[in-house]
Structure 1
Amino acid sequence: MALHLQEAAALGVVLRPMSDADLPFTAALYASTRLEELAPVPWPDTVKQSFLAQQHAAQHAHYQQHYRGMHAMIVERAGLAIGRLYLYEMPAEVRIVDISLMPDARRHGIGAALLRDVLAAAAPAGNSVTIHVEKNNPARTLYARLGFTILDDDRGAYDLWEWRAAA
């Protein structure tokens, strides 16, 4: 699947391959997605930061092991890294392994544009697009609006959502 940005490009967004040099950025990005959930935890900030760094490292290792060959891309706008998009292609499915944006880039239509570009790339081959989404993730309304439905809700804290191209 060749991902050509159209909607995201109209917002000034570009993708580039991730490298190991991006790990400090992806660690900060990961931490930004977990700060709200850790806010009520009575740990000192240094302990929270250490915990988040460890969790990011575990997540990165998991992705490397279970999605070998995934397309790991950094989302940029105006020359600045603002997010990540990880895609894993299977014979009839594209798995969105991760899509996340820094707080300042959220709620500006960038995530929706990226998702619509992924769907547009998958549709011609008739590939479905899937993503695991936490049950409390506010982006669930976005996935529903884009035509994703819950395929499997028996995965603990996550549901597996799926999008299928119109026949």
Structure 2
Amino acid sequence: MPFLQALYASTRTEELAKLAWDQSAKDAFLKQQFTAQHSYYQAHFPHAEFQLIELTGAPIGRAYLLWDDSHLQIIDIALSPTWRGQGIGSQLLEQWLDRADAQGLSTGLYVESYNRAQTLYRRNGFEVTGEDGVYLKMLRPANQAND
């Protein structure tokens, strides 16, 4: 799990840069938070699909998706910093939305209110349906155009 731990840490870099902790404290915190997140996903989403995202055989990201009869929930997606902003997330989202559309499923996700990925989600038909001060709840209705 070293890749997954490093990937998780990369998603918290900006946040932790603001703290006056030494690196060993940050590393311990990140390890604890990674373990907590992984355990939470396993306990609360036991039927979720885990995807290790690879390019030419090397891991570059991961995603947790929960498909049911009426809805796709994108639980989490993360790409390594080197691969962000290169259209890979857009391609993955397009694939998942095409599959959801083919099955007549709505798609939902949560995104941090400061995360620039929300622009990508809005561009793909997601609308904000709620917020809690940290996260925006976004929903894309089922696309019936393929019927």
1:42-81 alignment runs, 5 A limit = 42-81=20-59
How far apart, in 2, do the equivalents of 1:162 and 1:152 lie? Answer: 9
With normalisation by structure 1, the TM-score equals 0.83
Between the two proteins, the alignment pairs up a number of residues equal to 144
- Residue 156 of structure 1 deviates from its aligned partner by 3.8
Aligned match for 2:15, one of 37, 47, 53:
37
2:111 is aligned to 133
How far apart, in 2, do the equivalents of 1:147 and 1:137 lie? Answer: 17
- Residue 93 of structure 1 deviates from its aligned partner by 0.5
- Structure 1: tracts of 5 or more residues without a match: 1-22
**Structure 1: which 4+ aligned runs deviate by more than 3 Å?**
none
How far apart, in 2, do the equivalents of 1:143 and 1:74 lie? Answer: 21
How far apart, in 2, do the equivalents of 1:106 and 1:90 lie? Answer: 28
- What is the root-mean-square deviation of aligned Cα atoms in Å? 1.0
2:74 is aligned to 96
Q: Which amino acid aligns with 1:158?
A: Y
Contact persistence 2:105–2:143 (CA under 8 A): no
2:137 is aligned to 160
1:41-85: per-residue Cα shift (whole Å, max 9, x none)? 000011101101100100001100110111101000011100001
Identity %, equivalent residues? 42
Larger deviation, residues 133-142 vs 101-110: 133-142
Aligned match for 1:146, one of 106, 121, 124:
124
How far apart, in 2, do the equivalents of 1:127 and 1:151 lie? Answer: 17
- Structure 2: tracts of 5 or more residues without a match: none
With normalisation by structure 2, the TM-score equals 0.94
Q: Which amino acid aligns with 1:152?
A: G
